[in-house]
Amino acid sequence: MSNRWAPKHGFIPFHFTFPNKDAAGRNHCSAYNRHWAEANQELIDQLEYESPKDPTLVLKDRESAFQHLALLYVKYVQIFRKLENAYDQMVHPQKRRLLKEVVVAAMGRILEIKHKMVELEASDFQNLSDILLDLKLVPEDLQIPVPHSFLEEREKDVATRKELLQSLNAKELGFGEAVPAFPELDRADAIRIIQINERGRQGKLRAKYMRDIRLQAQREKELDGNDDEMEVNTAALRIQRVWKGFKARQLYKKKMQEELIFLGMSNTVKDAKMNPIIKAENNRKRRKVVQQQYEEEYQQALVNTKEKIAKVEGPDMKESMQDSFRQWYMEYKRINGKFPDFPPDKVWQEPGFTFTIGGEDRQGTAESGTSGDKGDDGSKPGTAASDSKPAAKDKKGAAGKDAKKKPGSAKGKGKQEEEEEPDKFKFDESEYLNQIRGENTVYGAKWQNKDESDNFAQKHDQEIIKNDKRREVEAEIKAEVFEVLKEELKNLKTAVDREKTKSRKGKKKGGKKGGKKGGKKGGKGKKGKGGKKGKKEKDLTANRTMESLVEELIQTGILQKYPPVSIRDYRGEFNMLATSTSKDPVIQPSFAELQRVVTEYCIFPLGLTPGPNAAAAAATAAAPPTPPTPPTPVPGVTSMFLFGPKGTGKTMLVNAIASETGAYLFNLTPRNTAGQFVGKPNVARMVHMVFKVAKAHPPSIIYIDGVEMIFAKKVPKDDTSDPKRIKKDLLKNLKSLKPGEGVIFIGSSFKPWDGDAKAMLPIFQKHLPCPKPEYASRYSLWKEYIARRAPNHVKDINISLLTRMSDGLSAGGIALTCERALTDRRLKLLRVRPLSTNEFVEQLFNILINKDEDKAFKDFYEKTPLARKRIAMLTAPADDEADKKKGGGKGGAKGGAKGKDKKK
């Protein structure tokens, strides 16, 4: 099929062939345009739902407000998934720019709603299973994808960081801390195992030797007999029977597989090249090449179009501005008898500004928002520099008079608002909603109804470029010309002022002297105010370059490289048994919920942080688009505490955050820095260097494993790392971290109760438990770990039995069990001896499951600030009801007595 059918049908299935090799990367644009249109319509519906016009729909209590926010959250996640997929696959450069802004706005709105939900429920984790059922969604629809643009648009910066770490032989995170697959043996046990295996080997050899002797004797006996024709026939029948049985079993398996495929109970086995997932990934790679090519063409078109407009239309624009300006001030001089003031910069910099006099349509003109010289009658037009402050003052005065007339009414209203505040719930205004509205307007004006039948390749739109560049050139010429015109008007006024009397000149000189004196006094006052400010923090490495600091941190093993890990590798399932109205004092998260929360708190804010070379990349004409700066800081955290038993994935989450954002990873773990930077000055310099380099190279992660030992009341004698030496400098530098800087501090611990909770917990904004997997997550983990080593033998294993037996086992314990059972030697014997469930059960018995620590972690979790707030919030209503029941009669009597007193 040729390309001429594409405009008619709108899209072409990916299995068609194209004569043009680049067409395969452009054929899905209509599908992603449709996704964008659907998401845009859903955003419009969301905006209407968020701002109801009916006053009866306004939320009045916390529970209804949470249900409202939870529904918004789920719907925004669905919209974000569509928008992110469309942005990732679309090749049109101008559409991608607008779509990127929508994606960022939707992402910011998701984070805003998330933080509001946390504030209402006093919990970082929410159960949304009932909302999923109402919307007929599956749990996978709640997973938030990490935008590919986080790494793709910083590809050069991330590659430079990796090359630097590799060239200086940076230490890898967690090097030497891996748990061995099998425990270490002492000499006696090792000798005993060797003896057992050696005796078994010798016995097998002897048995094989004896079997060969028996077979040889049997063959000789058969050869000594007569070759009867009946024996030949018997042999032929035996061969036929075996062969027919083999063919029948093959045919049965084939028919059975066809039947299972027909019923949808088995997957079809296809050629790897025809796998739709692989083909989709290959198409995505081709589209990425097309995106880069179109982006370069678009950047070049921007430069060429601007130069052409400036050359062809620039002189006419300049001449038109000069003529309208001169006509304006001459007409004003004729009417008012004096020259006007030049319009303020904010007025003439507005688009559509023109020099006009009088008239009712004054918006965007020289007289925009001005009042006449003679007052409110409007007989004479006002100057360009005049404003409407007197009118505002009149309004304020009238309002003040009204307030003075009824002071009691204002107080009464204030009391009513204070009384109604606990019952009503008010949402904060969101800048992201305004951004979404503006982008929807732009989409409707430019792209919604645009006919692109002649732009099958989805290249840039030249007309839009011309309009945008024409406004840009006009603004540049206006700034240049208006400076000249301002000087021209100033010279005219000066020439007129020279004709005035000498007495008035003397008065002006006296005014200038007074102004100078006042200026000196004002300067002294400023100095006095400046002296009150605190001293600026001293830079301990002011005489060193940033490159030397980075090199020293790499060589000392603090700035480390990390293995590439995706947040999707932290596998798990959602808890579908709990509801959103749960009254549990502490909500234990599932693996999938923890993965989503880490994505929201860490990956999104770090990924949206512009890198250190963002300005240089924006200045480069052919560079890919950099992430736009959001209108407001993206809600995020500057510190996070991960605690949980060993093997629950704390270090893996840190690796995933760094991998998904391409961040620098600084490891300040005491055992990693032991023996280095000895002495208090050197320790202060070390911590200062880490925070300085991290802030200069966002995104960055500062990580401390075993952070509880820094705040421990008593350090064990066998710990020679001196963990408490960095406590003072760490707390001092943590106070300087601010949201939006692209730096996050992460601490982890598997014994958090060893530290002083009062000193340790307040320094972290978020405290996230890393739990042991529940049934659904254990089931998926068993399947995943077995499939990695023996993908064709998963069906032979009773996964459900292993899941029930491994209750209380961490994810690391499940991985260790699979590693012990599926050794390299065992994998080689799979053809001879099939895999069985008992092999995993035997290894499970050798791993200890400590269920006592679960209670210790739960008790510690209840000590965190947010958990304490939730417990107090849930217990407060019950206490209030009990108090009302106890003191209802007394309160009523007191109220009656007070009422009588008032009547008297």
Decide if 798 contacts 622 (C-beta within 8 A). no
Q: Helix H segments across 498-588?
A: 502-532, 546-555
* Residue 803: pLDDT over 90: yes
Q: At residue 652, what is the residue type?
A: M
Over the stretch 516-545, which tens digit does the pLDDT of each residue have?
A: 444 444 444 444 444 444 456 677 788 889
What residue has token string 């007569």?
Answer: 226
Could you give the CA distance from residue 745 to residue 701 in angstroms, rounded to a whole number? 6
Is the Cβ–Cβ distance between 604 and 694 less than 8 Å? no
* Choice among 491-500, 509-518, 587-596, 610-619 with the minimum mean pLDDT: 509-518
Average pLDDT score over residue span 442-456: 85
pLDDT mean over 445-452: 85
Separation between Cα atoms, residue 546 and residue 664, nearest integer Å: 14
Tell whether the model's pLDDT for residue 225 goes beyond 70: no
Give which of 666, 769, 770, 684 is closest to 730, Cα–Cα. 684
Q: Is the pLDDT of residue 434 over 50?
A: yes
Where does the pLDDT of residue 379 fall: very low under 50, low under 70, confident under 90, or very high at 90 and above? very low
What does the alpha-carbon distance between residue 779 and residue 797 come to, in Å, rounded to a whole number? 12
User: Which tokens is 779 given?
Assistant: 């089931």
pLDDT in tens, 686-727: 999 999 999 999 999 999 999 999 998 888 887 788 888 999
Burial tier of 268 (Cβ tally within 10 Å: 0-12, 13-18, 19+)? exposed
Statement: residue 351 has pLDDT above 80 = no
Helix-strand-coil split of the chain, %, nearest 5: 65, 5, 35
Q: Per residue in 633-642, pLDDT tens?
A: 677 889 999 9
Of 73, 55, 78, nearest to 116 (Cα)? 73
Mean pLDDT, rounded, for 740-766 = 91
Average pLDDT over residues 176-204: 82
Q: Give mean pLDDT, residues 118-147.
A: 89
Nearest Cα neighbor of 461 from 314, 297, 303 is 297
For 55-89, write each residue's pLDDT tens digit: 555 666 778 888 888 999 999 999 999 999 999 98
Which residues are 560's β-sheet partners? 665
Poorest-confidence range of 15-29, 59-73, 302-316, 666-680? 15-29
Lowest mean pLDDT among 44-53, 234-243, 623-632: 623-632
Spatial separation of the C-alpha atoms in residues 600 and 593, rounded to whole Å = 11
Most confident among 306-310, 358-362, 510-514 (mean pLDDT):
306-310
Q: Are strands 743-749 and 639-643 parallel, antiparallel or unpaired?
A: parallel
Q: CA 230, 232, 235, 237 torsion: positive or negative?
A: negative
Q: How far is CA 300 from CA 96, 155, 293, 600, in A?
A: 17, 21, 11, 37
What per-residue confidence (pLDDT) applies to 186?
81
**Span of 106-115, 143-152, 170-179, 370-379 with lowest mean pLDDT:** 370-379
CB 601 within 8 A of CB 766: yes
What number of helices (H) and strands (E) belong to the chain? 33, 6
pLDDT in tens, 804-859: 999 989 999 999 999 999 999 899 998 888 899 999 999 998 888 887 888 899 99
Tokens 């601007």 map to which residue? Answer: 306
| Angle separating helix axes 462-497 and 276-312, nearest 10 degrees | 30
Side-chain half-sphere exposure of 134, counting CA atoms within 13 A: 11
Residue 163 has pLDDT above 90, yes or no: yes
Nearest to 659 by CA among 569, 578, 554: 569
pLDDT of residue 144: 92
Per-residue confidence band for 577, with pLDDT thresholds at 50, 70 and 90: confident
The dihedral formed by the CA atoms of 315, 320, 321 and 323, expressed in degrees to the nearest 10: 120
Average pLDDT over residues 585-600: 90
Q: Which two tokens stand for residue 132?
A: 């999923």
Question: Average pLDDT for residues 145-159, to the nearest whole number?
Answer: 90
- DSSP string covering 194-224: HHHHHHHHHHHHHHHHHHHHHHHHHHHHHHH
Residue 195 has pLDDT above 80, yes or no: yes
CA atoms within 13 A on the CB side of 544: 15
Question: What three-state secondary structure class fits 766?
Answer: strand
CA nearest neighbour of 86 among 28, 154, 143? 28
Measured torsion, CA atoms of residues 368, 374, 376, 382, in degrees rounded to the nearest 10: 0
For the chain, the maximum distance between any two Cα atoms, rounded to a whole number of angstroms, is 152
At residue 342, the pLDDT reads 82
Is the pLDDT at 450 greater than 90, yes or no? no
Q: What average pLDDT does this structure show over 461-470?
A: 90
Banded pLDDT at 301 (limits 50, 70, 90): very high
Check residues 561 and 273 and name the one with the higher pLDDT: 561
Q: Does the pLDDT at position 380 exceed 60?
A: no
Side by side, which strands form the sheet with 664-667?
Answer: 559-560, 664-667, 700-705, 743-749, 639-643, 766-769
Region of poorest pLDDT, from 94-103, 349-358, 489-498, 714-723: 349-358
Q: Give the mean model confidence (pLDDT) for residues 540-557.
A: 89
* DSSP symbols for 845-880: HTS----HHHHHHHHHHTTSHHHHHHHHHHHHHHHH
Write out the DSSP string of 359-419: SS--TTBTTTT---SS-SS-SSPPPTT--SHHHHHHHHHHHHHHHHH-HHHHHHHHHHHHH
Q: At CA 565, angle to CA 753 and CA 595, rounded to 5?
A: 55
Q: Rounded CA gap, 751 and 557, in Å?
A: 25
Instruction: Please confirm whether the linkage preceding 699 is cis (ω < 30° from 0).
Output: yes
- Host H or E run for residue 560: strand 559-560
Question: Is the pLDDT confidence value at 96 over 70?
Answer: yes
- 177-191, 419-433, 657-671 — which is least confidently predicted? 419-433
Q: What are 643's two structure tokens?
A: 């605690």
Q: Report the distance separating Cα 545 and Cα 559, nearest Å.
A: 16
Percent of the chain with pLDDT over 90: 33
Looking at residue 233, what is its pLDDT?
82
Residue 394 has pLDDT above 60, yes or no: no
DSSP per-residue letters across 23-82: GGGTTTHHHHHHHHHHHHHHHHHHHHHHS-SSGGGS--SHHHHHHHHHHHHHHHHHHHHH
Mean per-residue pLDDT, 576-601: 84
User: Cα-Cα-Cα-Cα dihedral of 336, 340, 346, 352, to 10°?
Assistant: 70
pLDDT > 60? residue 480: yes
Whose structure tokens read 């036929």? 240
With a cut of 70, say whether residue 54 has pLDDT above it: no
Better-predicted residue by pLDDT, 236 or 388: 236
Model pTM score: 0.77
Q: Report d(CA 174, CA 646) in Å as an integer.
A: 14
Mean local confidence (pLDDT), 274-285: 83
The percentage of residues in the chain with a pLDDT greater than 70, rounded to a whole number, is 75
Rounded distance, CA 73 to CA 84, Å? Answer: 16
Mean of the pLDDT values across residues 286-302? 91
User: pLDDT band for position 750 (50/70/90)?
Assistant: very high
Distances (CA, A) of 495 to 242, 491, 499, 809, 903: 120, 6, 7, 91, 80
Token readout for 326 is 């001169």
Closest CA to 752 of 787, 701, 704: 704
Listed residue (720, 706, 620, 630) closest to 668, CA to CA: 706
Please, what is the average pLDDT of the chain? 78
pLDDT of res. 348: 79
Q: Work out the pLDDT band at 328, boundaries 50, 70, 90.
A: confident
**Residue 871, Cβ density class (10 Å: 0-12 exposed, 13-18 middle, ≥19 buried):** middle
DSSP 119-163: HHHT-S----HHHHHHHT--GGGGPPPPPTHHHHTTHHHHHHHHH
| Two structure tokens written together for 675 | 């023996």
Query: What is residue 612's predicted lDDT score, i.e. its pLDDT?
Result: 59
Query: What is the bridge-based pairing of β-strands 559-560 and 743-749?
Result: unpaired
* Axis crossing angle, helix 62-89 with helix 276-312, rounded to the nearest 10: 80
pLDDT of residue 333: 81
Please give the C-alpha separations between residue 697 and each of 369, 540, 635, 692, in angstroms, as whole numbers: 46, 18, 20, 9
